[in-house]
Amino acid sequence: MTDRRLIGVSDFTSGMDRDDRDDPFGDFFEEIERMMNDMANANGPSADDAGFGSDTHVDAYTTEESVRLIADLPAVSKDDLSLRCDGDALTISAVSDRREYDETVELPAPVDEHSADATFNNGVLEVSFDRDDDSASIDLV
């Protein structure tokens, strides 16, 4: 394994005598250098191996009448997608040659799952629902 250590200021000044008491930023720069070296040597999963989670972004918008979700799903075709809703959450599943994805998104308000309207264009999924705020008022006796 190759050590991918970044060259920092301390590499160029290591032979010089320095009084750290006169350098108010010394600790700050050393900490930044340490963090950069940690990131350079990290052995975590690459973006290609991490699944859709590293690329997916889901936004939710609500009005008094509806709930709308917009999800970015790069490298997915319409035929790869499967959607399920129980009124409280939307599950988005996809399997393509390069990736698999399965995520459940909690909806910001209860919806009528039978009112779903979905479109998928250029890797962007839009799903709209009518809100289902069928809460009953209770009369006090």
Please give the average pLDDT of every successive group of 10 residues along the chain, which has 141 residues.
54 55 73 81 51 66 93 88 93 84 90 94 94 73 72
pTM of this structure: 0.57
Would you say domain 52-131 falls under CATH 2.60.40.790?
yes
CB 91 within 8 A of CB 102: yes
Q: How far is CA 58 from the centre of its chain?
A: 8
Cβ atoms within 10 Å, residue 54 = 12
Domain ranges of the chain: 9-40, 52-131
Burial class (CB in 10 A: 0-12, 13-18, 19+), 115: middle
